[in-house]
Amino acid sequence: MHKYRLGLIGYPLGHSLSPILHHAALEVCQLYGEYRLYPIPPQEKNQLLELIVQLRNDKLDGLNITIPYKQQMLALVDILSSSAQAVGAINTIYRKDGILVGENTDAPGFWNDLQRLGWHEKKSSSQALIIGSGGSARAVTYVLAKNGWRVILAARHTNEAKKITSEIISAVSKSSGSIQVITLDANGLRSVPECDLIVNATPVGMIPDSDISPWPGGVPFPQNACVYDLVYNPTTTLLMRQGVQAGLRVTNGLGMLIEQAALAFTQWTGLVVNPELMRKAVETHLESEKA
C-alpha cells in the first residue's frame, strides 16, 4: 500500500491546523499516509532545497507552502499552473510525470468560501478593500478582479502593491475588475469610499499577537461591508470584534483554509474530498482544545 507523505513549509507553524485537515481527508478517502509540519526559519533556506530534492526523489508526495515562502518557492518548481502564474505565488506543489508543478489553491479556495457564505454576488458597484501585499493578498486580489470586482489594495509597502496591480491586471481579461493602491494608514483608509468586502490578507492579529488589528484606530468602517479576516488562529480576531461592534458581518480564514486544503488534496491524490468533512474534523479539534 502506498504511503502518502505530505507536509507544510512555513515559519512559524506552531498553531497550524493543516495536519488535522489532511489527516481527516486521508482517513475519509481510506488512504495510508501522514502530513507533517516543516517549520523552516528564514535563515535556514537551504532546508527548502532539501525538501524539494525529497519531492523530486519520490520521498515526498506533495507540499503546501505558507508564510513567508509563497513567492520564494516560485523559483524552485519546474512549471506553474496558469492561476499560480497569474497570482505570482504558490501554496501547493505536486509532482506530475516527474515534473514539479507550482499551484495556487488559495485563490479558488477563497472564492469557494465566499460562495459558501453568499458574499460573492457582484453588483455593478461591488468593491473590495484588501489589506496587505503578500502572497495571500495576491491570491484574493486576482480572484476578485477575475470575477469583476473593483479592488482597492491598502498596503504599507505601496511599491509591492503597485507591482501586484500591474501583474494581475495583465493576467485577467479586460472586462474584469479594476485594482488601485492606497497607503495603509489612517489617512489612506479615511479616503476609502463605501465597499462591500474588507479582507485582511496579512498575519496581523495572529497568535501570539492577537491583541493587534490591521485597522487603524479612530477610522470608521465602511457601512454594510463584510469583514473577512484570513487569520484563523485565534478564531475570533480583534479585527472581527471591531467589525461586530460596527454592526458588520464577519468571518475568519478557516473557511478559506479548508477549501484550499481540499483542492490541494485532490492535486496530490486525484481524489475529491468533501470540504465539510474536513471542516467537521477541525471544529471537533477546536472544541476539544476549549474543553
Angle, to 10 degrees, between the axis of helix 254-269 and the axis of helix 18-28? Answer: 50
46 neighbors 102 (Cβ within 8 angstroms):
no
Catalytic residue among 3, 59, 70, 146: 70
Gyration radius from the chain CA atoms: 19
Q: How far apart are CA 107 and CA 85, in angstroms?
A: 12
Q: Is 123 a catalytic residue?
A: no
Q: How far apart are CA 60 and CA 55, in angstroms?
A: 5
Q: How far apart are CA 12 and CA 40, in angstroms?
A: 8
Q: How far apart are CA 129 and CA 141, in angstroms?
A: 9
Specify the DSSP class assigned to residue 6: E
Active site residue ranges? 70
